[in-house]
Amino acid sequence: MQIYLDSANLDDVKKANDLGVLDGVTTNPSLIAKEGVPYTKRLAEICKVVSGPVSAEVIATDFDGMLREGLEHSTIAPQIVVKLPSTLDGLKACKAFSDRGIKTNLTLCFQPLQAMMVAKAGAFLVSPFIGRLDDIGQDGMQLIRDIRQVYDNYNMKTLILAASVRHSNHLLHCALSGADVATCPLKVITDAMKHPLTDKGIEIFLADYKKAFG
């Protein structure tokens, strides 16, 4: 499973990239707004650090606006993936970008039929939001499993990008459920390498070595 960082913080991007496991980055208008920097400037800065796909979300909600913004984003760097909402206009824009050879990430997906439709329109990525479904009492991970089955049934090539990943247990079950990619905050990535028995084992090894050799 590929790991993307869900952040627009440049320090976090650099830290995640230095770990050697980062495959890409996802951003959105809310994340970039928190940084207080111009939208395109931050996207360009991230693309200088990360060689993998970087999702750049449009602000527009209509087809013409999505097309205009997406084409502008696509000129920032070769690895830019235009991020579109899973709506009718987003679906139409997805097909338009696919016909131009521009990769897309269809975001805010909450049901398998949305995922099926955007795959038919040529989406590179689809982003089901597992955490937000959990928040309203639904099983977000079941959405990943359902999309996986639909895509496998028809050999659809769109990659399933599990989004709204809140903790390491989410990350584990994304891998078990067959997600192609999981995008998450830096803390979730670093927590994947933590276990109290690992820490305890290191303490014991060091204590034994010190006792024997000083």
Rounded to the nearest 10 degrees, the angle between the axes of helix 88-99 and helix 63-74 is: 40
156-189 pLDDT, tens digit each? 999 999 999 999 999 999 999 999 999 999 999 9
Q: Is 34 a catalytic residue?
A: no
142: CATH? 3.20.20.70
Say how far apart CA 95 and CA 24 lie, in whole Å.
23
Per the structure, the complete domain to which residue 75 belongs is given by 2-213
155: pLDDT strictly greater than 90: yes
Catalytic residue among 14, 83, 103, 210: 83
HSE-CB for 165 with a 13 A CA cutoff: 32
Average pLDDT along the chain: 97
The total of structural domains in the chain comes to 1
Say how far apart CA 116 and CA 112 lie, in whole Å.
6
